[in-house]
A = this chain, B = another copy of it.
Amino acid sequence: MNKAGAPADQLDIAMRLIRQRGGRCTRPRRVVLEALLDAGGQLRTAEELFAISRRSDPEITESTVYRTLTLLEDLGLASHVHLGHGPSHWYLKAARARWYLTCSACDAVIDTDAAVFDHLVDDIAARTGFKVDAGHFAVTGTCAACST
């Protein structure tokens, strides 16, 4: 029912991973990770995570948020996706295997299960050996409403 474990577990696991790598278990890191966990798999920009984190730790700075996100990405816990021309959107990896379709007419973002892409991913792997990751970039096009 909860493959990835309860939020508290995930926080624990992440902190353990950080310590294993010689990193330190600090308040800013816990707070950013909590912000990401609170999102429940929803996408958040660094700026949004900064604003949320600052509610728990008013001392935290944007550069620390960026540094923490980069750390979490290196650990394989978080990742980010480029939806358009604005800032990147971050998410916890465990919670997501999605592709994003962005409509170039109305800017809607359609969140699609990665399974839709399975055939494509297999096809590319067979032809070229390239292993496609679930959407680090969005796929652009026109949504149903705008294409009529």
Contact = CB atoms under 8 A, between A and B. Distances in A.
A132 B127 contact: no
A101 B132 contact: yes
A119 B119 contact: yes
Interface in A105-148: 110, 112, 116-117, 119-120, 123-124, 127-133, 135-144, 147
Contact of A139 (B132, B142, B143, B147): B132
A104 interface: yes
A82 interface: yes
A140 B73 CA distance: 15
Interface in A32-49: none
Each complex incorporates copies of this chain amounting to: 2
Interface in A55-82: 82
Contacts of A110: 128, 130
Contacts of A136: 104, 139-140
29 contacts: A82-B82, A82-B137, A101-B128, A101-B130, A103-B130, A104-B133, A110-B130, A116-B124, A116-B127, A119-B119, A119-B120, A119-B123, A120-B120, A129-B143, A129-B144, A130-B141, A130-B142, A130-B143, A130-B144, A131-B141, A131-B143, A133-B142, A135-B139, A135-B140, A136-B139, A136-B140, A137-B138, A137-B139, A137-B140
Interface of A: 82, 101, 103-104, 110, 112, 116-117, 119-120, 123-124, 127-133, 135-144, 147
